[in-house]
Amino acid sequence: MRVTFWLLDIGYEVRDGQPEVWLWGIDEENRRILVIDRGFLPYFYLTIKEGEDPEAVLSRVQRLRGELPLIRELELVDRRFFGRPVKAIKVVCGDPEVLSKYSRKLGKVPGVGMCLEENIRYSMRYLIDHGITPCGWHEVEVEKAERPSGLQVEAVYRARSPPKGVEKAEPPSLRVLGFTMVAYSRRGTPKPERDPVVILSVATNSGKEAQFVAEGGDDRPVIEGFLRYLREFDPDVIVGYGSNQRDWPYLLTRARRLGLRLSVDREGGEPHTSVYGHISIAGRANVDLYDFADELPEVKVKTLENIAEFLGVMRLEERTLIDEVDIPAYWEDPDRRPLLLKFSLENLRSIMGVAKAMFDYALQLSSLVGIPLDHIGTAAVGFRVEWFLIREAYRIGELVPTRRPRPYRTYVGGMVLKPRPGIHEEIAVLDFKSMYPSIMIAKNISPDTYVPPEEPDPPCGVYVAPEVGHRFRKEPPGFYKEVLTRLLRAREEIRERLRTLDPESVEYRVLDARQRAVKVITNASYGYTGWLGARWYLKPVAEATTAWGRHIIRNTIEMARKMGLEVVYGDTDSIFIRYDPEKVERLSKAVGEELGLEIKPDKVYVRVLFTEAKKRYCGLLPDGRLDVVGMEVIRGDWAAVAKEVQEGVLGILLREKDPKKAAGFVRGYVSDLLARRTPYRDLIIWKTLTKPLKEYKVRAAHVEAARMLMQEGWELTLGDKVGYVITKGEGKLYERAKPYNLASYDEVDLDYYVEKQVIPAALRILKQFGVTEREILPPTS
């Protein structure tokens, strides 16, 4: 019989000495099913050194089969490595766990060059080799199998052949459960071995909500109620915010402390940390939305409330906000406890709203890259690109290099012009379409087309990069060129299809998310070439790409000036010019004909203000919005007071062109601040811990604040944001920094905020208009 199903999760087991892949999915009748495939064995490759007899090397490897009993098959194959033909031995084994051990042993055989692909995880290997995509539809020949006890599925099948992809855009009707928890500790960070989970709020995408509350401080009924609710709803996807690092580990430890088993997966098992570092729940997709926060660079402090506000889920001024340090007081006070319950519920609604906003994109990114949904968010951009490349490498018979440690090496990046400070009217931003990917395609830049300095030019000829002189073969097409060409073509085909669809349709929504995912991976491909952790790393590839980019920007600027266009700024893959529609059209055409790239207006500012610094400007868009780049307004290491005053100044200057009014605005803001009419929250400065506290040699304000928090019992780790204020007193700045939740408004040094935050942020803009510090300070009494 044949079954069509949508792949939700993948895992594997080794049973009776035989590995089997477990494919968790949803079929066309919306039933939850499990397909088990026992027909795929893991493998790795041994390349054969140049000049060695392949048959002789194979014979030497054969002799070791007695010592390595789980070798099932040895096969001589033809492959490519960095574009060059190689002979290799494919070593097929009976257990995924022996690949590393066996490869080390066989790598010492005389005549063997490299061991490759032994570290590709078995389940990922299965997906790659069969072209199977997570979050996609597939068809498979199966036979019914006995359902093992404890499995929470409606049917179990044994695959008779590998699944094949099916063209179908719309995902099934997924059951989504969101949760958030509040733990109670009298002092410091709650510890699961000691402190109860006092509130656990859950919601489903069917609109139901529930709260489990520890009456009398006993949280056993809370966790039992949560488990019962989860099993009854049987979610496909579980969403949280910070749940991988905080909620799941806490619940798991707390349940064990209470003698409970946190059985939340579809096998009846507990959550576990996967090899990739995220929490895995078999048969379900555990999605921590915090892992997608980096997709929103506009939000500098990645709190749930900030992300929810940015996405239009819930406005900050409309929600209840309670700092972690205040949770004990709210829990202990019967009159204030309802506010804590409301706070938890609003967090839950924010989680569900953020999930809805990001879900289509997450599904399509998972499908495109080939990484399961529960891991796609935690995977760094470089790893996302790499898994996509590994799939493409398999398709064309290219062996995957081993990742190796490398010393840090720099290279010259994109070209950035010095701006002309001041306000400029009617400025168009001309943006090159996929500049770096287009250069890599046009010049065939790829690790496998690079011609080292000691080698002569090949008969097909070479492209020579300006400034750096790196050479790349013109033929045949390189690995990167093939991959990027497919991506750009795929995105264009999707966009053509979108033009024919109703924007309100499900297909439009899914395909639009798909084209965004394709764009993200395409544009990230250049960054991957310069990433030291890349399997396909080659410095000349990244260096040559940016060199051609600088060359193209210079030529474009020269062409624009010859046409009489005024260039006021340029940055990497765009130039800012005074807008003249007719001349811009001529320039776009000339760039296409002479440079082979597409450039067109990305946006047109009514006005734009440049400071004296590169990469710092603000433009007024036709709809009245401000587009801010690089200013304190959008930087995460300034207090909100600096951001707010600078945004106010920019708005007045760009909308009204009135420096005097802007100066008056600053005076009023400073007066309000000194009178403590500014919210305390706006005085907090947030900084990230970029390494463990003990490794900091310099005494910085946020480090000292972090140490105070730890002395008070709070736990902090690498990557945590520390919020602090500067208090009154003598001494250096770090000596006056205090965690905001341990300080009061009365302790704050308001003069510091005026002199070191508000005034510098305002003057960065206003000094270009002749405004002095004296003019923006309120008169002294």
Let me know if residue 725 belongs to a domain.
Answer: yes
Q: Are residues 436 and 544 in the same domain?
A: yes
How high is the pLDDT of residue 781? 55
Cα separation, 52 vs 441, whole angstroms: 35
66: domain CATH number is 3.30.342.10
Let me know if residue 375 belongs to a domain.
Answer: no
Let me know: does 52 contact 44? Beta carbons within 8 Å: no
262: domain CATH number is 3.30.420.10
Q: Which residues contact 77 (CB under 8 A, 6 or more apart)?
A: 45, 87, 88, 89, 90
The interaxial angle of helices 506-529 and 337-369, nearest 10 deg, is 70
Let me know: does 446 contact 479? Beta carbons within 8 Å: yes
Q: Of how many residues is the chain composed?
A: 781
Q: Are residues 506 and 599 in the same domain?
A: yes
Q: Are residues 13 and 158 in the same domain?
A: yes
Q: Which residues contact 687 (CB under 8 A, 6 or more apart)?
A: 636, 637, 700, 701, 702, 721, 722, 724
Helix (H) or strand (E) holding 620: strand 617-620
How high is the pLDDT of residue 298? 79
Let me know: does 39 contact 312? Beta carbons within 8 Å: no
Q: What is the mean pLDDT of each run of 10 residues along the chain (781 residues)?
A: 96 90 97 97 97 97 96 97 96 96 96 97 96 96 89 96 91 97 88 95 97 94 98 97 95 97 96 86 96 84 91 91 89 96 97 94 94 92 94 96 84 84 93 92 96 95 96 96 92 90 86 90 90 92 94 94 93 91 94 92 92 85 88 68 92 94 95 94 90 88 92 81 92 93 93 94 91 88 55
Q: Are residues 4 and 83 in the same domain?
A: yes
Q: Are residues 444 and 481 in the same domain?
A: yes
Say how many CA atoms lie within 13 Å of 116 toward its Cβ: 24
What ranges make up the beta strands (E) of 433-588? 450-451, 462-464, 471-473, 567-571, 574-578
How many other β-carbons are positioned within 10 Å of the β-carbon of residue 247? 21
Q: Which residues contact 700 (CB under 8 A, 6 or more apart)?
A: 687, 734
Tokens at 601, concatenated: 């207006």
Question: How many domains, the chain?
Answer: 4
Let me know if residue 662 belongs to a domain.
Answer: no
Let me know if residue 571 belongs to a domain.
Answer: yes
Let me know: does 769 contact 666? Beta carbons within 8 Å: no
Q: Are residues 307 and 446 in the same domain?
A: no
Cα separation, 779 vs 781, whole angstroms: 6
Q: Are residues 558 and 585 in the same domain?
A: yes
Let me know if residue 710 belongs to a domain.
Answer: yes
Helix (H, G, I), strand (E, B) or coil at 456: coil
Q: Which residues contact 231 (CB under 8 A, 6 or more apart)?
A: 152, 263, 264
Q: Are residues 437 and 320 in the same domain?
A: no
Last residue of a domain, one of 369, 397, 432: 369
Let me know if residue 337 belongs to a domain.
Answer: yes
Let me know if residue 400 belongs to a domain.
Answer: no
Q: In sequence order, what are the beta bridge partners of 141?
A: 2
Let me know: does 140 contact 2? Beta carbons within 8 Å: yes
Q: Are residues 141 and 189 in the same domain?
A: no
Residue-number span of the structural domain to which 208 is assigned = 176-369
Last residue of a domain, one of 577, 602, 620: 620
How high is the pLDDT of residue 635? 57
Let me know: does 129 contact 163? Beta carbons within 8 Å: no
Let me know if residue 655 belongs to a domain.
Answer: no
Helix (H, G, I), strand (E, B) or coil at 447: coil
Question: Cα angle at 129 between 127 and 131, to 5 degrees?
Answer: 60
The phi-psi region of residue 333 (left if phi > 0; otherwise alpha if psi is between -120 and 50; otherwise beta) is beta
Q: Are residues 232 and 344 in the same domain?
A: yes
512: domain CATH number is 3.90.1600.10
DSSP-assigned letter for residue 607: E
The interaxial angle of helices 248-257 and 220-233, nearest 10 deg, is 120
Q: Are residues 430 and 353 in the same domain?
A: no
Tokens at 162, concatenated: 């590998």
How high is the pLDDT of residue 466? 96
Q: Are residues 34 and 157 in the same domain?
A: yes
Question: Cα angle at 104 between 103 and 108, to 5 degrees?
Answer: 105
Last residue of a domain, one of 148, 170, 192: 170
Kindly list the strands in the beta sheet with 721-726, ordered across the sheet, starting from the edge strand earlier in the chain.
Answer: 685-688, 721-726, 737-739
